[in-house]
Amino acid sequence: MQFRPCIDIHNGKVKQIVGGSLKDSGNQAEENFVSAQDAAWYARKYQSDGITGGHIILLNPESSEYYAADVAQALAALEAYPGGLQIGGGIHPGNARHFLDAGASHVIVTSYVFKDGEIHFDRLKALSELVGSEHLVLDLSCRKKDSDYYIVTDRWQKFTAVKMNLETLEMLSPYCDEFLIHAVDVEGKASGIEKPLAELLGRFTTRPVTYAGGVGSFEDLRLLKALGQNRINVTIGSALDLFGGEIPYETVKSLGFENEVDL
């Protein structure tokens, strides 16, 4: 299990929010933390510690008056750490290459591929060919409905008809390099991980997977490592001391290295 850092940008600022609270209307979100530092500051820190595979997420839609400010923050971070960060949030064929050319290692996509609640394989194949599958991450962030997890889109606001399961992961694997999966119902709450989802992801071996959502303690990390059979990488947001939480970044940054911290 490796630590994957994040830089979430909303209304032109680096923030940590409660994932399920995000609304396009009025650019609203319940905030856990608003940083006094810009995105480039975080990018330089991750670069100095040699941590790769982190992601930048633009939380405003392109239609928002804050989108340009979000992108400016993101581009500054990519310039500060070229090749070290992925970027997602409103990615489509019209802007994907721009972000890769600006220094992103991968683009992260959900809504463009999962349109109107279904997988559009024509869009997925075209985007994968445009950027190269080695530069594409599929964000299969999900929420629970009844007894199953379903992929959600449009900044986690809309349910699709696509279940998050091993069949879906295997079906989409040929088109991407890895998967990013937010457990949206616990995202930003530091209230514990989604255990059934972690167990499911631990059974998947075809592509790397990064899990985000609910991590609030070292016990949560131990549990994720066990349920995920040490295969799942982890993002820690609101609970990390860089974002006002109590989990020390200086401890978890060594996850996945030879001197890996003993959880």
Is pLDDT above 60 for 261? no
Above 60 in pLDDT, residue 260?
no
d(CA 29, CA 157) in angstroms, rounded, equals 12
* CA–CA separation, 257 and 144 (whole Å): 33
The pLDDT of residue 257 is above 60: no
- Please answer whether residues 201 and 193 qualify as being in contact, where contact means their C-beta atoms are separated by less than 8 angstroms: no
Residues 6 or more apart from 219 whose CB is under 8 A from it? none
Give bridge partners of residue 58 from the DSSP assignment. 9
Say how far apart CA 19 and CA 69 lie, in whole Å: 20
Of 40 and 115, the structure prediction assigns the larger pLDDT to 40
pLDDT at 90: 92
Whether the predicted pLDDT of 25 surpasses 80: no
Average pLDDT of the residues in 27-51: 89
Q: Is residue 113's pLDDT more than 60?
A: yes
- Between 255 and 64, residue with greater pLDDT: 64
Residue 103 identity: G
Residue 263 pLDDT greater than 70, yes or no: no
> Is the model's pLDDT at 190 over the cut of 50?
yes
Band of the pLDDT at 188, cuts 50, 70, 90? confident
pLDDT in tens, 117-139: 999 999 999 999 999 999 999 99
pLDDT tens digits, 145-168: 999 999 999 877 899 999 999 999
The Cα 123–Cα 119 span in angstroms is 9
CA 67/CA 69 separation, integer angstroms: 5
Domains and CATH numbers, the chain: 6-252 (3.20.20.70)
Per-residue confidence (pLDDT) for residue 53, from 0 to 100: 95
Residue 255 — pLDDT band, cuts 50, 70, 90?
confident
pLDDT score of 258: 43
pLDDT beyond 50 at 170: yes
Check whether 259 has a pLDDT greater than 60: no
